[in-house]
């Protein structure tokens, strides 16, 4: 038996010996797991509108810029935001809807772009999988319209298109949606930051220094406005989430 295998066996043997008093067989373990106390808040209490307002407020507290728009006005809003950024060269995931690629800018579409090429761009536009209002968190599952992880990392300016129907109030509501855990996830709460020097929060270290969010007030929300939200009947997030 080789040395690495020996260590594996040795460690597992020690663990088994150490947990003789408590380790359970698979059936009992599943039962014990299911019985763990979960009395924390799972479902939010806010109305749809309040939930969106909370999301916007939290994002702004993180120093992210937020603008609201309608589905019809989305392409022009994107164009206006790109122009207002004063930047010209943007990178986009391959699955980004073509109508989002505003004219008059230099677009690089990610078909396996080299890192150096992504590093050259000034900004990135992506979709998102979910927004969590309670903590102002935006979740990327890195599907076709959210792009590879490196895409939303190297450019200094990140524009996220978040649909209002994707916004949940609490973190457990997000997890309730992930029936199949995605293989890649990035939870983003504001632009890159540090507080390592005297606990002063400084925006922008290695990730994008500027986080811009367009919140699209899509129709499913208006229809459901102020109804009691039942998480099981909510529309799924992006359909193309990578799952194994």
Partner 1 sequence: MSQTASSHAELDPCKALPFPMAVLPVLRNPLLRKNVAHAIDVIQAKRGKLVAEKTDWQELRAAASAIRAHALENLGAYLEQFEERCTVAGGTVHWAADADEARRIILDLLRQEKASEVIKIKTMTSAEIQLNPFLEANGVSAFETDLAEIILQLGEQEPSHIVVPALHVNRSQVREIFARRMGLKNLSDDPKELTNAARTYLRQKFLSIPTAISGANFLIAETGSVAVVESEGNGRMCLTLPRTMITLAGIEKVLPRFQDLEVMLQLLARSATGERMNPYTSLWTGVTAGDGPQSFHVVLLDNGRSSILAKPRQRQTLKCIRCAACMNACPVYRQTGGHAYGSVYPGPIGAILTPQLMRMKYARSLPYASSLCGACYEVCPVKINIPEVLLELRAQVVNQERREGDRLFDPMYMGLRIANLLFSRAWLFHAAQRLGRIGLGLFTRKDGWIHSLPSIGAKWTQTRDLRGLPDESFHEWWAKRPQPDEEAL
Q: What strands, in cross-sheet order, belong to the sheet with 167-168?
A: 137-140, 130-132, 167-168
Of these, 46, 80, 109, 150, which contacts partner 1 (CB under 8 A)?
A: 150
CB of 103 to partner 1, least distance (A): 29
Is 153 a residue that touches partner 1 (CB under 8 A)?
A: yes
Is 119 a residue that touches partner 1 (CB under 8 A)?
A: yes
CB of 117 to partner 1, least distance (A): 12
Q: State how far Cα 112 lies from the chain centre.
A: 22
Closest CA to 129 of 118, 140, 120, 117: 140
Of these, 1, 2, 26, 232, which contacts partner 1 (CB under 8 A)?
A: 26
Q: Exposed e or buried b for every residue in 28-42, given b needs 16+ CB within 10 A? A: eeeeeeeeeeeeeee
Instruction: Give the range of 26-34, 83-91, 95-103, 226-234 binding partner 1 by CB under 8 A.
Output: 26-34
Which residues from 63-102 bind partner 1, rule CB under 8 A?
Answer: none
Which residues from 211-230 bind partner 1, rule CB under 8 A?
Answer: none
Helices (H), 104-152: 115-120
**Residue number, 103 or 198, with CB nearest to partner 1:** 198
CB of 207 to partner 1, least distance (A): 3
Of these, 92, 102, 162, 188, which contacts partner 1 (CB under 8 A)?
A: 188
Write out the H or E segment, with its range, that includes residue 221: helix 219-224
CB of 12 to partner 1, least distance (A): 6
Find out whether 107 and 205 touch, Cβ atoms under 8 Å: no
**Measured distance CA(161)–CA(126) in Å, rounded:** 6
**Residue number, 72 or 197, with CB nearest to partner 1:** 197
Is 193 a residue that touches partner 1 (CB under 8 A)?
A: yes
Of these, 67, 178, 224, 240, which contacts partner 1 (CB under 8 A)?
A: 178
**Measured distance CA(197)–CA(205) in Å, rounded:** 12
**Measured distance CA(105)–CA(103) in Å, rounded:** 6
Of these, 11, 83, 89, 223, which contacts partner 1 (CB under 8 A)?
A: 11
CB of 156 to partner 1, least distance (A): 10
**Measured distance CA(130)–CA(186) in Å, rounded:** 11
């Amino acid at each position: 038996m080789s040395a690495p295998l020996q260590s594996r066996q040795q460690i597992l043997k020690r663990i088994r010996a150490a947990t003789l008093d408590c380790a359970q067989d698979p059936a009992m373990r599943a039962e014990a797991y299911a019985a763990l106390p979960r009395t924390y808040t799972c479902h939010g209490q806010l109305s749809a509108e309040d939930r969106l307002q909370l999301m916007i407020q939290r994002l702004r507290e993180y120093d992210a810029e937020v603008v609201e728009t309608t589905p019809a006005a989305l392409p022009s809003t994107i164009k206006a935001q790109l122009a207002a950024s004063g930047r010209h060269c943007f990178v986009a995931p391959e699955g980004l809807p073509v109508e989002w690629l505003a004219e008059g800018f230099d677009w690089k579409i990610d078909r396996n772009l080299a890192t150096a090429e992504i590093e050259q761009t000034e900004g990135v536009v992506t979709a998102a999988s979910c927004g969590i209002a309670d903590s102002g968190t935006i979740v990327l599952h890195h599907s076709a319209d959210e792009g590879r992880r490196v895409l939303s990392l190297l450019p200094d300016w990140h524009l996220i298109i978040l649909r209002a129907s994707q916004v949940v109030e609490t973190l457990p509501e997000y997890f309730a949606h992930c029936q199949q855990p995605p293989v890649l996830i990035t939870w983003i709460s504001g632009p890159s930051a540090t507080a390592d020097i005297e606990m002063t929060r400084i925006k922008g270290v290695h990730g994008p220094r500027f986080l811009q969010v367009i919140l699209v007030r899509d129709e499913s929300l208006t229809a459901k406005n102020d109804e009691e939200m039942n998480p099981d009947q909510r529309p799924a997030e992006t359909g193309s989430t990578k799952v194994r």
